[in-house]
Chains A and B, each alone.
Chain A
Amino acid sequence: MNKPAKLEPFLLEPERYEFRALPMHQFALARRDFFKLLGAGIAVFAVAKDLAAQETAPGPRGFHSEELPKEIGAWLHIGEDGTVTGFVGKAEMGQNVRTALAQTIADELGVPFERVHMVLADTALTPWDAGTFGSRTTPTITPQLRRVAAAARDLLREKAAKEWNVPADKLIAGDGKITDPASGRSLRYSDLAREDVTDHRTPPASDPVKPAPQWTVAGTPIPKVDARAFVTGSHLYSTDLRPEGLLHGKVLRPPSFGATLIAYDDSEAKVQPDVVLVHDGDFVGAVAPTVAAAEEALSAIHVQWKEAPQISDQEIFSYLKKNAQPSSEERFRQTKGSVAEGLAYAAHKLDASYNVAYIAHAPLEPRAAVAQWTASKLTVWMGTQRPFAVRDDLADIFHVPEANVRVIVPDTGSAYGGKHTSDAGLEAARLARAAGGHPVKLVWTREEEFTWAYFRPAGVIEVKSGIAADGKLTAWEFHNYHSGMSAIETPYVVANQFTQYHQVPLVLRSGSYRGLAATANHFARETHMDSLARLASMDPLQFRLHNLADQRMRTVLEAGAKAFGWPRQKSAEGQGFGVAAGNEKGSYVATFAEISVDRKAGVVQVKKLVEAFECGAIVNPDGLRNQVVGAMIQGMGGALFEAIQFQNGKITNAHFSSYRVPRFRDLPQIEAVLVNRTDIPSAGAGETPIMAIAPAIGNAFFDATKVRLTNLPLQPERYLA
């Protein structure tokens, strides 16, 4: 058994996509099982090279090429009753993919939206998938689903052509039927799906699919599917499952990170007959009919832990600087021209350093899992972003074949990059192994969630820069220590650049987070750009446009400025306006903030946020708007007050009472401007809308006070004394 809370001696992967080796098998489900599940009908299985995704990427992203999965799969089944079922390995956790993917199938196949159902994130039923992260679902799965749906449509057309003995290319597919315009006759898809046909094909990437301007179902604001189940409380999250014979598990946590168990004595634990204690290496847990009984059993065990002194939040930033690893890896740096030469002819030079604190995802549904062993087979229900990786971990750790492990992901109570790891599933499975075939549920407490999950890593960013007398950038040097490489490259035109990412050994367990390091890198870059605009005596928006060639980024800046009314005249004491922009993962964002500072009262209020966002062709404008506004509000937390505090291997603010997250009274006036580019393939939208919030607010604070904030969280009230 892996220790649940062991410090990982690893260096952080800069992109933290956590990709692993490709799976050995793409199709775990036997065709026989597939039809047993769904009844007769037409099935199209497809696995295709990720060509479309490569086409949609905004060109080569430079020196750190993403290691993307080589193949992605999607399956489609059309039943005799006309029900269409799409199978995709992605997970729904509030980002609304269940709706958006069904829209895509309905659109391409030509069936009413209500007929389409999605089976998501089940390792026994869906194609292998690397995980739901990196804003990948829309750019990779959507084109793949379209090709599968187009292949199914062609198959139906061929069947009807054979039936009528006419050429297939004369027939029209749509509205759930194949029509022969010459004779006016038609056959429903359900009529054509009366026999088992399995078409295991690889639709070529060149197969024509509907371009966005011709979409009829995609591109429309269809409400979230199954929404009724959420307002009635009937939707079952992992934490809500109560399979027959359910027992509850509890894990005894070490007192600090990396602590090792040196003594264990359960002789005084008067264990009730219905309670099982599990002691396996450093892992100690209990299984009982209730959580309270499991807790009681654990409280009677005598344990001793060996602890080690550790870094605290007070010294983290100097630690990160001092412990940067020397690296010769080319993928960590990029050189263009000569920074020294660029600085030599600069009219103004500016060096600055920025710090970014650790923050927590704090998904409202904590990490949890239900596990059940039936003979040598293991089933785990769990809210995870990476069901196939969890399956692999379980198979590995319990020494069972992958085929004997099934991971099912009920639609999940959010994740934000926080549910990549297997922890809760491994723990529940270990406890269930001792539970004699009973299913065991383990729900992390909020304190466990804040302590034993992982964090968005802290970082230090250093920038050296120069501008010419005309306000053009002449030199740009950018160093990121530890926090990551996402969006590390400047989108601005600079002839002389040096960019480097510095790895540092992990202090706190760190991993993926919505936007990854794009938020830290944008905070440093866009704050620095604001300072440079002041040096150049230029309007911050004009300064950016002056140094920008990327048309899509110009467009969002201009669209946001128009909605915000930039440039605005100050109409009140303490008012300030700020702007920040950027691009990442194929989408573009520009954020404008209005802030109000009351120095006497020591109060800073964000009054208004306007954000323009463009991610190519919009699949569902209602879902997108919800997600963009959500990212803006969530981004306010990391911008203004969220920070994990830690001391000697303990998290000292592991509660919602001490770890502040955005609440209703923090809300400013909010406006999202969605730029729809039907001429550009759709990109994901889960992350980019979060990354320009902090610098926009910080820049507005400077505009109001002439005080430059260089740390995240900004905690602006601290600077008003």
Chain B
Amino acid sequence: MKPSDKSWERLVAAARRAPPAGDEAAPFGFSTRVAALAFEQRQAPPALFARTALRAAAVAGLLAAAAVALNFSAIKGAFDDDPASAAPDDPIAEVVDLGS
């Protein structure tokens, strides 16, 4: 064994003789605080939020689908590429006409 191994062994043996670092019992109020925090974490809020959020998403989806269904013709018309539907005095139509 190398000399440094021996000195490390002597050092560690001395360290082992040191008294325990302090009281190992839980400090006053520690267990109460930890138990309260633990149950607070495990309680409903995340689950309740998740359930509410899921329901809200479903309702929002239904409303969106109903809105599309009710306004389908207007939406379809907006995408029709009918030049006649453009107003004659539409400035954008005039610029396009000048260019062509």
Instruction: Indicate whether A and B interact.
Output: no
Instruction: Name B residues whose Cβ lies closer than 8 Å to a Cβ of A.
Output: none
Residues of A within 8 A of B (CB): none
